[in-house]
Structure 1
Amino acid sequence: MAGRIQALLDATGKPQTPPADSGLKPSTIQNILNERSRRPQPENVALVAKYLGTTVAYLETGDENTKVSPLEGENTNVRMVKQLNSDKNSLTIDVPVLGVSAVSTGDEFLFTGERIDYVRRPERAKHMQRLYAFFVAKDNMYPRFDIGELIYVNPDIPPSVGDDIVIELAPEDSKSTGPNVSYLKRLKRRTPEGLVVEQFNPHSEVSVPIARVICIHRVMTIKDLLGV
């Protein structure tokens, strides 16, 4: 999010300290850019989007299809805030949060096999039977995802090129008895030999042999879950 905000500030020439009539505190944008506010409040994200003439969905996901004009962005943001502030009691709390363990080196992590919590099921996800969530354990996809950010994943929607994914891989040594490892990446392209995946921090692309791929699950976007 921070990278997209900075790019929009540069493009629009607007200052990091917004005017009083924006509804934002003078330090709100600076705190996001300086990572003092790694998980800003939804209402602040909506106000930042309005100030920069874009949408909450674009700031959250980077989806260029949601990077709209100021007027359209304002309407979308109002709709987004209404959904986020709607009666939470109307949403069932049945999406399992899976436990993960960060490996000390590299960008891989392990699913522990535990269900550590349950979170609310967004309205548009009510028919996604195997939907699950987990807290991001690594910063290799920053600024797309922050450490500690909760993301929803649907194993039943085949990912397309450009989608963010959770990919589970078998050990490189086929004789190894070690656990499978998982990665949070973006699907860059498919090849006859396997997949090419991308990360942002630091930026790199890696080829993954198809023989090692156990499963690929699609990370759901704000648009997928809320319809904005």
Structure 2
Amino acid sequence: MAIGDQIARLREARGWKRPELARLMGTSTQQIERLEKGQRKINEDWIARAAAALEVEPSLLMTDDPAPIIPTQNAQPFKYDGPSLERMAENLPIYGSALGSEKYIDGEAIEQTMLNSGDVVGYLKRPVILNGRTDVYGLWVQGHSMDPVFCAGSTIIAEMKRPPRIGDDVVVYLRPDGHDDDGERARAVLVKRLVKRSASFVELQQYSPGITFRLDMAEILRIDRIMTLGDLLS
């Protein structure tokens, strides 16, 4: 039996439609259809994601045995009458990033991060409060300029829709230089704290070394707000 057939059979055994499995795997309904019909090559990544979503061992997706592989239930599910409990899906994208060359402003070295938002390098577990939101994403922090608040290698979650307030930590998207500026793509981002904002400039702060500096608004594509733990738990 093909892997796609096993995925379809397991999905149907759980009473799921394709959109439900797509949500848990962090992909589209169209991709699930292609996987199940054998129209897309199923590599190790797809097998791992499908197995995690279906809560089975990856080897069960690669078996040729068409016999049912869903354990027979010998107990009734407990009915919970309290607040809704939802399983966190691992589908919050992490964009590719790397430590970039320093940006010098008034002779001071400002640490910046090179970004490739077209490259999804992994997925985070999505807090239930963010279900259905397409304006949120993750980044791995590069460098040490925001120690000890955001250490190198830690993960941040940013949102695009809610405007940042003074005192918020932010991801500042810088416009590309010269002819590469199409008004949409960023060459690099700064992970800093927003100190001041006006129609003509923003004032930002980094912690290590401690520097407060200004950027002209003409250099900035957009500013996204970094979500706090309180945002994700409220």
Whether 1:110 and 2:86 are equivalent positions in the alignment is no
3-state secondary structure, aligned to 2:196: strand
Q: Is the 8 A contact 2:86 2:128 kept in 1?
A: no
Question: Is the alpha carbon distance of 1:105 and 1:195 closer, same or farther for their aligned partners in structure 2, counting shifts above 3 Å?
Answer: closer
Q: 1:204 aligns with which of 187, 207, 211?
A: 211
Q: Structure 2 counterpart of 1:108, which letter?
A: Q
What fraction of aligned residue pairs are identical, expressed as a percent? 27
3-state secondary structure, aligned to 2:231: helix
Query: Which residue does 2:196 correspond to in 1?
Result: 189
| Pairwise CA distance, 1:204 | 0.7
In structure 2, C-alpha distance between the alignment counterparts of 1:208 and 1:104, rounded to whole Å: 17
Q: 1:145 aligns with which of 147, 150, 170?
A: 150
Gapped regions of structure 1 (runs ≥ 5): 1-87
| Pairwise CA distance, 1:222 | 0.3
Whether 1:129 and 2:145 are equivalent positions in the alignment is no
Show CA shifts across 1:4-61 (max 9, x none): xxxxxxxxxxxxxxxxxxxxxxxxxxxxxxxxxxxxxxxxxxxxxxxxxxxxxxxxxx
| Pairwise CA distance, 1:177 | 3.8
Would you tell me which structure has more helix in proportion to its own residues? Answer: 1
After TM superposition, the runs of 4+ consecutive aligned structure 1 residues lying more than 6 A away are: none
Gapped regions of structure 2 (runs ≥ 5): 1-84, 104-110
Q: Is the 8 A contact 1:131 1:152 kept in 2?
A: yes
Q: 2:124 aligns with which of 109, 112, 119?
A: 119
Whether 1:92 and 2:89 are equivalent positions in the alignment is yes
Q: Is the 8 A contact 2:171 2:189 kept in 1?
A: yes
Query: Which residue does 1:22 correspond to in 2?
Result: none
Q: Is the 8 A contact 1:128 1:154 kept in 2?
A: no
Q: Is the 8 A contact 2:87 2:128 kept in 1?
A: no
Structure-1-length-normalised TM-score: 0.56
More displaced stretch, 102-111 vs 90-99: 102-111
Show CA shifts across 1:171-191 (max 9, x none): 4x5x35486221000000113
3-state secondary structure, aligned to 1:223: helix
